[in-house]
Chain A
Amino acid sequence: MQRPAPAKFELLVRRDDTEDFELRQVASVIGYLNSRPRRVDQESYEISELRSRLAAAPGFILKNKTTDRFLLLSAQERFLWDQMDGATALQAIATAYVLKYGEFDFEIIPSLLRKLQRAQLLTFEPTSRLRAALARNRGRVIVKAIELVLTGLERIRISSHNVQSFFQALYRYGGFLLFTPIAAIACAVLAVLGAAAAFVLFHDVHDMLEGFGGHALRGILTVKLLFFASVALHQFVHGLACIHYRRRVREFGFTFLHGFVPTFYIDVTDIFMASRRARVITAVTGALVHLALGAVAFVVAAQAPTGSFTQAFAAASGIIQWQALVIALYPFCFIEMDGYHVLVDVLGVPTLKPDAMTYMKGLLTGAGRMRQGREELLWIGYVALSALSVAAFIAFNVWIIVSATH
């Protein structure tokens, strides 16, 4: 469909005390160039520098203190943000940008404006892309049904915003122990023991899972459901780490992610205002819950009688826990989990995945062309490794199920 011409107004501007006037056509694009974006009051936001040894330029984290939304900004975006004082027109901001950076890539400006509006740093409440796409196709019965189901599921949200004192108490009465050298050593020992047990067990997966009594698939699904509880524990440890670094836990709850993925969640985004070390430890410690639980499960399975229900159940639990560990920490799987956040933090490229996907999409559709730079290599590497990893993950699970059922 052809894009409509920019909307325009015709204005009549009077001269002083006469009947004389001037007519002016004002297209929306003129309005846009002359608009004066204003950032929220200084008390409503916080900005923190994000230095990286690898990235050439520093990044910045911008926090909306009212809504607790965070944005990662490049140095250029930070410069543009500083210009948005409500007095400088967008055209002047663009000129300043060219003078400062010598670049004519003005797409950065509307892109940043959209980001800021979404984070309510220039104000606006957006809607979900998925929901917008569904709304566009509401005429189809199946789409309408999906929309109804998603709406219903999205309403299921159990959460509390008053969890800071709870997590502080949990930390005070024992949670702090998780952040001591002894806990780190215990975790390492458990990992070694678990790995040794798993090595022994995996000599014969079929014998190991025989304890499910011919209902291996049903048994594994039961273990998956129980695993769900450990996800809550994972989130609890993220919260304790946040308290450890004296930042605030904003929310803890249960919801259906994207309307269909049941999950526990915790809002520890305040940790972005702390050091990189704090961010990395907060991300990693949550996932270590799966390392510890999986190791214990493998050790129990190794000690249990071969072919017993205990062994099958424990071994399946161990597999699932360690899979969860890998998924959480392994950054190359197209999912923005803990490991991905650590990677982009260390590299100093907060938009790695969207940039990589856009670049590859351009290459595959012929819209973009191959370039040889550090960023392009990073993007290609990310997509290639992620695609291989997802394929390997699926193959491994198929092998487990086939081995268990034959």
Chain B
Amino acid sequence: MQASAETLAFLHDVRVFEAFADPDLVALAERLRERELRRRQILFREGDRGDEMFIVRRGTILISKAVTGKVEQVLVRVEPFDFFGEMSLFDGSPRSATAQAETDVELLVLGRDSLQAMTETAPRAAAAFFYAMVQVFMERLRRSTQQVAEATRWGLEATGLDVEAR
């Protein structure tokens, strides 16, 4: 992909690329692919194979996990400058949730090959990328813990369980 000034400015504001030097950012931009989704289009389903992560440039992506039958729980809405799908990028595991466009969406796609190339040609940028990624993982882990507590509260409130009194 030809790196436009607009794309470079956008990437500079994406958290995992914030610490990149300009030449590294240009090299990265050239390895990214663009992809567009129409509203309601499914990008991938839970259980699909995958080895790419996605950065939202425009629009909103819904990440949801199957609960029962046709019902899924919305885990998160991914907004512009945020990214998703990184778990499969690292370990190639099946997708743990479904990603679907809530609106018309523009994405930038980073494949495993591109990441591998970046690690070899720009190790300083790769280190900054991984460091930022660990921080994001920790934040998401905290959010998951909070979601578990919230789910427990929902259950207690919804069932009227009185766990304090005898």
Contact = CB atoms under 8 A, between A and B. Distances in A.
Interface of A: 4, 6-15, 19-21, 23, 28-32, 35, 110, 113-114, 117-118, 124, 126-129, 132
Nearest to A18: B40
Nearest to B62: A12
Contact of B153 (A28, A128, A132): A28
Contact of B159 (A12, A14, A35): A35
Nearest to A133: B164
B67 A117 contact: no
Interface residues of B, number: 28
A28 B164 CA distance: 18
B74 to A, nearest CB: 4
Nearest to B162: A114
A110 B163 CA distance: 13
Given A117-B162, A118-B166, A10 B73 contact: yes
A135 to B, nearest CB: 10
Interface string B134-157: 000000000000000011011111
Contacts of A126: 162-166
Given A11-B73, A32-B160, 19 more contacts: A4-B153, A7-B154, A10-B74, A11-B67, A11-B71, A11-B72, A13-B71, A13-B72, A19-B41, A19-B100, A29-B157, A29-B158, A30-B158, A113-B160, A113-B162, A114-B162, A117-B161, A124-B163, A126-B165
Interface of B: 40-42, 62, 64, 67, 70-74, 100, 150-151, 153-166
Contact of A35 (B41, B64, B158): B158
Contacts of A19: 40-42, 100
Given A10-B73, A19-B42, A129 B166 contact: yes
Given A11-B72, A32-B159, A118 B165 contact: yes
A7 B73 contact: no
A14 B70 contact: yes
A105 B25 CA distance: 66
A131 to B, nearest CB: 8
Contacts of A118: 162, 165-166
A121 to B, nearest CB: 13
Nearest to B98: A12
Question: Which of A8, A10, A129 is packed against the most chain B CB atoms within 10 Å?
Answer: A10
Nearest to A135: B164
B165 A32 contact: no
Contact of A28 (B64, B74, B158): B158
Nearest to B158: A31
Contact of B157 (A14, A31, A113, A128): A31
A4 B100 CA distance: 31
Nearest to B40: A19
Contacts of A114: 160, 162, 165
A132 B162 CA distance: 12
B162 to A, nearest CB: 4
B154 A132 contact: no
A201 to B, nearest CB: 44
A7 B70 contact: no
A132 B100 contact: no
Contacts of A6: 157
Contacts of A113: 160, 162
Nearest to A118: B166
Nearest to A124: B161
Given A11-B73, A13-B70, A28-B158, A127 B153 contact: no
Contacts of A35: 158-160
Contacts of B42: 19
19 contacts: A8-B154, A9-B154, A10-B73, A11-B72, A11-B73, A12-B72, A12-B73, A12-B74, A13-B72, A14-B71, A20-B40, A21-B40, A28-B156, A28-B157, A32-B158, A114-B160, A118-B162, A124-B163, A126-B162
A221 B161 CA distance: 46
Nearest to B164: A132
A7 B158 CA distance: 9
A27 to B, nearest CB: 8
Question: Which 3 residue pairs of A and B lie closest in terms of their CB atoms, listed nearest first?
Answer: A31-B158, A28-B157, A7-B154
A128 B158 contact: no
A342 B150 CA distance: 46
